[in-house]
Amino acid sequence: MTERFIHTNYLARQKVKGAKSREQILPLGAVVMGLLVLLSVFCFLWVRIYIIDIGYRISETLETGKTLQKENRQLRIARASLIAPARIEGIARGELKMVEPKNTQVITLTW
């Protein structure tokens, strides 16, 4: 039995896509690496700005706390002076013209 081989040159006419060469991959890789570096820089800057902002907020909150503590001390002093028995008696006698009750005006109840 003899084999016949017909040469049609079919393979030579096919367009075969070969593997991409290094010259084609290198620019794409450089662009991707550049974008990754740029993204990293933006992420670093965003975190840094966020930390600085948080620092300013903490400083502002501490300053507000100090101001409120100072105001609280002043209000406690004012309250203490307003509820002093001598002051209340002075207002009752001077402005309201109140006097001490006589013994006949006081009624004592026992239970």
The pLDDT value given to residue 28: 83
Residue 1 falls inside a structural domain: no
Mean pLDDT, the chain, integer: 88
What would the pLDDT profile of 67-94 be if each residue is shown by its tens digit?
Answer: 999 999 999 999 999 999 999 999 999 9
Number of domains in the chain: 1
The pLDDT value given to residue 16: 61
Q: Mean pLDDT throughout 40-56?
A: 97
Residue 72 falls inside a structural domain: yes
Q: Mean pLDDT throughout 37-57?
A: 97
Nearest to 89 by CA among 76, 104, 79, 100: 100
What span, in angstroms and rounded, lies between the C-alpha atoms of 14 and 30? 33
Residue 7 falls inside a structural domain: no
Residue 12 falls inside a structural domain: no
Domain range enclosing 66: 22-98
The pLDDT value given to residue 18: 65
> Is the pTM above the cut of 0.85?
no
DSSP string, 78-105: HHHHHT-HHHHHHHHHHTS---PPPGGG
Residue 103 falls inside a structural domain: no
